[in-house]
Structure 1
Amino acid sequence: MANRLEFLDVSGYQPNAQNRAFWDEAKQLGVAGAIIKITEGTWYRNPYGWNQISAAKLAGMKVAAYHFAKFVGNSYQAVNEANYAIATANSMGLPHGSIIVLDYEERAGIRAYNTQACIAFCKAIKAAGFMPAFYSYSGMANLWDYEAIRQATGAKFWVAAYPRLGPAYSPDYGSFPSISAYIDGWQYTDNWRGWGVDGSVDLTGVFTTTEKVTSGGHLDDCHFEDGKLVVGGWFASDKANGKGNHYIILTDDQGHEFARQSVALSPRPDVAKAFPDIPGAGQSGFAAKFDYTAAMAGKKLRVYFRYTDDPAGNGNATDYVSLADLSKSAAYLDSMSVSFGKQLHVAGWFASDMSIGKPNCFAILFDAAANRELQRVKVAPVARPDVAKAQPGIYGSGHSGFNAAFDYDASLVGHKLQIIARYSDEEHGEGKYVDYWFDPFQGPSMPVLDGKMEQTFVAHDISLSRQQDGTLLVNAK
């Protein structure tokens, strides 16, 4: 087993791996592969991931990615995490067909359920056109069944076992973790050559041997234009020969189809330059505009770029699959002020993919301390071309502005208040709705006049007289 190629895995803890020099030096020391952490759960993306992948590719490394799992034995959550990892891998430029590793380190759950959840994750990775791999510690084998995972998904196996502490310069094969006949990679140290990074040896070539790329794709664009959903990207494959019909198909993550369009391919000289070995790369552009529906809102759509021999878009097909997140919302409170007319004025914007089919817009003043609504006003949407430019990927961003005025008096000064922006399908603001809760604030002071607070009072009689200095004297009874 001597003289095998090695590979390193890095994460947000290694920002220096964004530099090509890091990988060039590693390459001189026998490293030929890089595995980059891209995601964790459904909430974390490695902020350095894109640069780390790019730097490793430039240095000639075979590049893979890994996802740190949090789903334990929940298969539904496992699929959600897989979809999150797939979308992130595509956005970070991981080559189509690369390995995405399931990093399973949760010391919890029941072995059978954990195994089924891992199988669900790996199947989703495989369905999206990537190669699944499974990673864990050898001492955790009682919490998962790799043989079952491999048989169900074909996942490669990367195992961690550290025979000694401190820097390691080569694997000690006398301490090899022989827990399976199908081990592809062994992570033998967490301090490779004193670099403070994990080091592994490639036993089968799967993590370090670069093969000629003959298929690839990417979802470059997903935005809204005049209420329509626009998607675009590229897909080229050596398996597209004889499949002269080209389609873009939208489904949910369960395969329910929303829409499909036959499209004409467009020139992509950039793809041909980047992937000279993929047949048809220079004419591989896909683009279409779809009606956006309420059924799509809140979903993570699967976007299929398809070559097929069937004019209807079925038949013998070759697909590239990516994800489009249609559950996005964004908002900002631009201004807030109190007028002499005892009103609290607020202005801002709120855009949401889930606002489709909800034409009624509201601003709500909420007492955050007492947890109750104080006032609700219906507002007319205001054109916001600046928001449309900044947030083209969110539905309705071009008409997301609002202005509202609430009754306001001294009793609310200093109270913990909150503004809620709402889209609703019901004219009074109930029914089906989507909200954005702005950060709580302390009720602002009332405005002042000549350094004194504005006062309101009731009088039966009032008279005015001008003083010698020009001021007015008010007498009230």
Structure 2
Amino acid sequence: MDSVRNSMSRIRGRSPRCLFTGALTGLLLYVSGPQAVSDPTGGPLERGNAYMGIGVLAHDGTSGTPPPVSRATQTEGVDVASHQGDVDWRKLWDGGTRWAYTKATEGTYYTNPYFAQQYDGSYDVGMVRGSYHFATPDTAGGAAQADYFVDHGGGWSKDGKTLPGVLDIEWNPYGDSCYGKSASGMVGWIRDFLGRYKSRTGRDAVIYTATSWWSECTGDYAGFGAVNPLWVARYASTVGTLPAGWSVYTMWQYTSTGPQVGDHDRFNGSQDRLRAFADG
């Protein structure tokens, strides 16, 4: 609703010529390729409104129903962003959700206005929680975006309840899937982000991505799997083929239509293992 109100406020007071030019620009952005994502008003998505998994359904689709979670081997989680607003964390906890990630930042230009309620609220009901950064490699360098993330909620503390930060690197909802970068350029950008995050926090960041995007935009680069945990996105009955470099996943985003909050996930281990992972 905030994005709709913002759009309407921008429209009011414009001349017909400005309206026509803006509409034409929006149309060109929207039809520039299947990568462009529209907001609820039908126009191009505004910067800042991206979220984890925004392109999964459009590019990979969904198939099958994931098997029931076994709490001895997997732990249920959820990821949220500003479009969820204030979250009923108690209801999620009572439904079996034990960990959560909140979007903190995007690029070097956006912070989640609901971050405090989402990040602190999950912690307050007993969840292990962390934060993620939606990467936009076409707007600023990897190191600069890592700094912005750490400075606006992306830090880590060794308290057993704070998960390492996540680099959400996936389809560009604002344009070209690979943000105009070559495979080597994308790998270099990711490396810069991960290196700066490690130097700032002492932890290796988790990489959230989808196998098909990783193949297309990094050229199946296999150099991060030995160090950085993987959070893979696939809405299906199995996790499927993992991106190059990883033989196991740490987390799996398995649906965008979960109870209470759409985006649900599984940690590949028991709740005890989850807390050990948070502790580093």
Tell me, yes or no, whether TM beats 0.5. Answer: yes
Partner of 1:160: 233
The question of whether the paired residues in 2 share the 8 Å contact of 1:42 and 1:81 is answered with: yes
Query: More strand per residue: 1 or 2?
Result: 1
Q: Deviations over 1:6-32 (max 9, x none)?
A: 110001111122xxxx22221222211
Partner of 1:88: 152
Residues 66-465 of structure 1: pairs in structure 2 closer than 5 A: 66-72=132-138, 77-89=141-153, 95=157, 98-105=163-170, 106=172, 107-108=177-178, 109-129=181-201, 130-142=203-215, 143-144=217-218, 145=220, 147-151=222-226, 154-163=227-236, 172-173=237-238, 176-179=239-242, 180-193=246-259, 195-204=260-269, 209-211=274-276
Q: Using the alignment, how far apart are the partners of 2:247 and 2:189 within structure 1?
A: 22
Partner of 2:53: none
The question of whether the paired residues in 2 share the 8 Å contact of 1:63 and 1:94 is answered with: no
Q: SS state of the match for residue 208, structure 2?
A: strand
Partner of 2:25: none
Q: Using the alignment, how far apart are the partners of 2:206 and 2:272 within structure 1?
A: 10
Q: Using the alignment, how far apart are the partners of 2:235 and 2:169 within structure 1?
A: 17
Q: Using the alignment, how far apart are the partners of 1:212 and 1:181 within structure 2?
A: 18
Q: Using the alignment, how far apart are the partners of 1:212 and 1:78 within structure 2?
A: 25
Pick aligned residue for 1:41 from 107, 125, 128? 107
Cα 1:11–1:71 change in 2 (3 A) is: same
Structure with max Cα Rg: 1
The question of whether the paired residues in 1 share the 8 Å contact of 2:135 and 2:168 is answered with: yes
The question of whether the paired residues in 2 share the 8 Å contact of 1:62 and 1:207 is answered with: no
1:79 alignment partner AA: A
After TM superposition, give the deviation of residue 141 of structure 1 in Å.
2.3
Cα 1:177–1:212 change in 2 (3 A) is: closer
1:67 alignment partner AA: H
Partner of 2:46: none
1:127 alignment partner AA: S
Q: Using the alignment, how far apart are the partners of 2:208 and 2:272 within structure 1?
A: 13
The question of whether the paired residues in 2 share the 8 Å contact of 1:186 and 1:200 is answered with: yes
Partner of 1:26: 92
Q: SS state of the match for residue 201, structure 1?
A: strand
1:13 alignment partner AA: H
Higher RCO by CA contacts (8 Å cutoff, separation 6 or greater): 2
- Equivalent residue pairs, number: 194
Cα 1:205–1:136 change in 2 (3 A) is: farther
Q: Does 1:60 align with 2:126?
A: yes
The question of whether the paired residues in 2 share the 8 Å contact of 1:62 and 1:208 is answered with: no
The question of whether the paired residues in 1 share the 8 Å contact of 2:128 and 2:275 is answered with: yes
Q: Using the alignment, how far apart are the partners of 2:107 and 2:229 within structure 1?
A: 21
The question of whether the paired residues in 1 share the 8 Å contact of 2:75 and 2:269 is answered with: no
Q: Deviations over 1:51-81 (max 9, x none)?
A: 2111111111111110000015x8x711100
Q: Using the alignment, how far apart are the partners of 2:277 and 2:206 within structure 1?
A: 20
Cα 1:65–1:213 change in 2 (3 A) is: closer
Partner of 2:56: none
Q: Using the alignment, how far apart are the partners of 1:182 and 1:50 within structure 2?
A: 32
* Root mean square deviation of aligned Cα: 2.8
The question of whether the paired residues in 2 share the 8 Å contact of 1:184 and 1:206 is answered with: no
After TM superposition, give the deviation of residue 196 of structure 1 in Å.
4.5
Q: Using the alignment, how far apart are the partners of 1:207 and 1:135 within structure 2?
A: 22
How high is the TM-score relative to the length of structure 1? 0.38
Q: Identity rate of aligned residues, in percent?
A: 23
The question of whether the paired residues in 2 share the 8 Å contact of 1:7 and 1:207 is answered with: no
Q: Does 1:50 align with 2:50?
A: no
Q: Deviations over 1:276-311 (max 9, x none)?
A: xxxxxxxxxxxxxxxxxxxxxxxxxxxxxxxxxxxx
